[in-house]
Every structure is written in structure tokens, then in C-alpha cells.
């Protein structure tokens, strides 16, 4: 079956088209989920893309978490549905409480826009199931608030359950424990600051985002993660 | 007038509210650190512990101060601050009654 991926669009989202193109390149189908609609239209998986939802006013994701579509996404995630938040989408998911912790300003107080190296540290998630542990990926980052932080007990739990799915090799932003991406307890919700959808075409300098999105499409088809019900 | 009667039955006080949002202790504050270095570089000796936060001001109509404080606590929790990395200081002050 061809999985149908919903890509959320808030006012200020700017990576929604890239995400849809990445899905298309891998043989999936996608549809836009407008933030003000309280439904995810029966999609098989949801991408919360990058950008500046609601202008990042107050804090990135702080306003977006109250958009009507977020309640539908929370219900979908609670049932085991695959959800990935990329960059601003990761910030939205932490503000919404679907993932623990928060993203603060980069340590060097600079907006970072460059390609970094990530190491896959857990393959038990909807975004990494098609990869090998220790795999190195070249993926772009593009953020000001990407410096992951959380309470010490939260970090201990993330480490104990191997919920840090990707780490930076050469920490660019000060993230605690080099964290670039984490997953939920159910391993069906993943948030990461780097942009796999921008590394899906040789013209863009890397295709290392493809196995990540491929994992996600497999999860959307119901074949990705063993812990997903049904 | 009807409106005046309504107000007389349900007295409302207007409060000036100041919510100061700041990074929790232990959370790195690169803006504060940069400003501190700049002040030192400008020759201001003895400046320490610079922290950068946000100040959010608004007015709130509520029956009394306890109710106003409850509302402010709740709206800080739900929106104005992220408890993972931020603390708040709240100041609630009743406006003096308008002259008739």
C-alpha cells in the first residue's frame, strides 16, 4: 500500500514542500494538514515540518501547540501513529508535551545553517528502523533554537531507554549529550533538529535523509516498528 | 444605567500585571554571558550574573487580588513560560480606583 503522509502547515511553515517532495521521491503520497483544522484526515503518518510557525512568537512552538490540528495529532500519537517533527516541528512537539525537554538558543548565539554529521544511536524508532546502529549521515541543520535541554532525570530516562535516536558528531549548538533527535516512549513520535527532507536528492549534496524518510514511510505502511499496534 | 448597575453588583478591580520570564538556574544563557563580557570589555568592573529574560505586561480585570494571582499563575503555566527551561516572577498591583 502507498502510505499517505500528512504534512502540517502552520502560518510560517516553510519546509512543508520539501517534506512532501521527499515523500514523493520515495514513492509515498502526501497531503497538507492545515493547522486550523481539527483533523488529520485519516493519514497514515504525520510530519510536522520546519519553519517559523506563528512567527516563533513568545517561543518557537509555544503558539503552534494550541492549533486545533495538534489535538488530533496528540490523539493519533497516543494510538501509536507515526509522527515526526523536524526542526521547528521538533520544537512544536516538545511544547505540546509529545516529546520531553526543550530547545533553547544555540550555545554560540548564532543561527546555524550547514551540513552536519549525525550518528544513528537507536534503530528502534519510526525514523531510524531502516538504518544500522552507528550509521553516519550527512544532514543539513538550519536553526537558532536547536540546543536541546531537559531535566537531569529526563536525560537519564532517555539514555536508559535508548530514546536518543540521533546524535551530532561534533556538537554544533551545545545540545545536552550531543542530542540531535529523540523519540517518545512508544518510539512512534520522533523529533530532530536536522532536516532529512533536505538531503533527498544528489543535487542537494546528500541523499542521507532518504533512509530516514524511508523508515518513516515503512512505519506509515504498518511495517516499521514492532511496538506499533495493529 | 444598566451597565453601572452590573458593575456595582460585580465589582471588578483592574490589576497591572508584570510577568518576568527568565531562564532557570543551570540553563546556559549565552545572551547574558555575551552581555557580561561586553560590559567588562567596556570597563564596567564588578558586573556579574547577567541574565537575559522577557518582560510581559498586561492589565487584568478580576474580582480580587487572589483571583487575579490564580489566573496569572495558570496563564504562565499554560503559555507564557516553558517550565523545562524558564521560571517566572509575577507582580500584580491593583490600580488605584478611578476618580468618579
Report how far residue A100's alpha carbon sits from residue A86's, in angstroms, rounded to the nearest whole number.
15
pLDDT at residue A225, as a whole number: 46
Judge: B28–A95 Cβ closer than 8 Å, yes or no. Answer: no
Share of chain B above pLDDT 90, in %: 72
Question: Residues A119, A124, A126, CA angle at the centre, nearest 5°?
Answer: 95
Q: How confident is the model at residue B26 (pLDDT cuts 50, 70, 90)?
A: confident
Judge: A109–B34 Cβ closer than 8 Å, yes or no. Answer: yes
pLDDT tens profile A161-181: 999 999 999 999 999 999 999
Catalogue all structural domains in chain A, each as residue range(s) with its CATH number.
Answer: 4-220 (3.40.50.880)
What class does CATH assign to B11-94? alpha beta
pLDDT at residue A229, as a whole number: 43
Report how far residue A137's alpha carbon sits from residue A116's, in angstroms, rounded to the nearest whole number.
8
Would you say residue A3 has pLDDT above 90? yes
Share of chain A above pLDDT 90, in %: 94
pLDDT tens profile B43-77: 999 999 999 999 999 999 999 999 999 999 999 99
pLDDT at residue A199, as a whole number: 97
Report how far residue A99's alpha carbon sits from residue A18's, in angstroms, rounded to the nearest whole number.
23
pLDDT tens profile A103-154: 999 988 899 999 999 999 999 999 999 999 999 999 999 999 999 999 999 9
Q: How confident is the model at residue B8 (pLDDT cuts 50, 70, 90)?
A: low
Domain boundaries, chain B: 11-94
Contact A93, A48 (CB under 8 A): yes
Share of chain A above pLDDT 70, in %: 97
- Total residues found in chain A within this entry: 230
Closest residue to A104, CB basis, from B34, B80, B85: B85
Asked which of A12-21, A81-90, B7-16 is least confident by mean pLDDT, the reply is B7-16
Structure-block grid coordinates of residue A174: 551545545
Contact A192, A139 (CB under 8 A): no
User: Helix A16-25 and helix A210-220: axis angle, to 10°?
Assistant: 80
Optimal mutation site among B22, B23, B30, B51, interface A, most CBs of chain A within 10 A:
B30
Q: Report residue A72: phi and psi, to 5°.
A: -65, -40
pLDDT at residue A186, as a whole number: 97
pLDDT at residue A223, as a whole number: 56
Would you say residue A79 has pLDDT above 90? yes
Distance, in angstroms, between A109 CA and closest chain B CA? Answer: 6
Closest residue to B27, CB basis, from A58, A62, A149: A149
pLDDT at residue B97, as a whole number: 66
pLDDT tens profile A191-227: 999 999 999 999 999 999 999 999 999 999 985 444 4
Beta bridge partners of A116: A139
Question: Residues A208, A213, A216, CA angle at the centre, nearest 5°?
Answer: 145
Helix (H) or strand (E) segment spanning residue A166:
strand A164-169
Q: What is the mean pLDDT of residues B3-29?
A: 80
Contact A84, A99 (CB under 8 A): no
* ipTM, interface predicted TM-score of the complex: 0.80
Report how far residue A25's alpha carbon sits from residue A19's, in angstroms, rounded to the nearest whole number.
10
Distance, in angstroms, between B15 CA and closest chain A CA? Answer: 22
Amino acid at each position: 500500500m502507498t502510505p499517505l503522509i500528512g504534512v502540517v502547515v502552520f502560518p510560517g511553515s516553510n519546509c512543508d514542500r520539501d517534506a512532501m517532495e521527499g515523500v514523493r521521491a520515495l514513492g509515498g503520497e502526501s497531503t497538507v494538514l492545515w493547522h486550523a483544522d481539527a483533523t488529520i484526515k485519516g493519514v497514515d503518518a504525520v510530519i510536522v515540518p520546519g519553519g517559523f510557525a506563528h512567527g516563533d512568537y513568545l517561543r518557537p512552538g509555544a503558539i503552534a501547540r494550541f492549533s486545533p490540528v495538534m489535538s488530533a495529532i496528540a490523539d493519533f500519537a497516543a494510538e501509536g501513529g507515526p509522527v515526526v517533527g523536524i526542526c521547528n516541528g521538533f520544537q512544536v512537539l516538545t511544547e505540546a508535551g509529545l516529546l520531553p525537554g526543550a530547545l533553547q538558543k544555540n550555545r554560540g548565539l548564532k543561527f546555524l545553517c550547514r551540513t552536519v554529521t549525525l550518528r544513528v544511536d537507536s534503530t528502534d524508532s519510526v525514523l531510524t528502523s531502516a538504518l544500522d546502529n552507528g550509521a553516519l549521515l550527512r544532514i543539513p541543520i538550519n536553526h537558532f533554537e536547536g540546543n536541546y535541554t531537559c531535566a537531569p532525570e529526563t536525560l537519564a530516562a532517555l539514555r536508559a531507554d535508548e530514546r536518543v535516536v540521533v546524535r551530532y558528531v561534533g556538537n554544533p549548538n551545545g545540545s545536552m549529550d550531543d542530542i540531535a533527535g529523540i523519540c517518545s516512549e512508544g518510539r512512534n513520535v520522533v523529533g530532530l533538529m536536522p532536516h532529512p527532507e533536505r538531503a533527498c536528492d544528489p543535487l542537494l549534496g546528500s541523499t542521507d535523509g532518504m533512509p530516514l524518510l524511508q523508515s518513516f514511510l515503512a512505519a506509515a505502511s504498518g511495517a516499521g516498528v514492532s511496538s506499533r499496534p495493529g | 444605567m444598566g451597565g453601572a448597575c452590573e458593575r456595582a453588583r460585580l465589582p471588578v478591580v483592574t490589576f497591572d500585571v508584570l510577568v518576568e520570564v527568565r531562564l532557570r538556574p543551570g540553563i546556559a544563557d549565552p545572551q547574558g554571558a555575551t552581555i557580561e563580557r561586553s560590559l567588562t570589555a567596556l570597563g564596567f568592573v564588578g558586573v556579574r550574573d547577567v541574565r537575559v529574560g522577557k518582560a510581559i505586561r498586561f492589565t487584568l480585570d478580576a474580582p480580587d487580588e487572589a483571583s487575579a494571582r490564580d489566573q496569572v499563575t495558570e496563564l504562565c503555566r499554560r503559555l507564557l513560560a516553558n517550565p523545562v527551561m524558564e521560571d517566572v516572577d509575577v507582580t500584580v498591583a491593583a490600580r488605584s480606583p478611578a476618580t468618579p
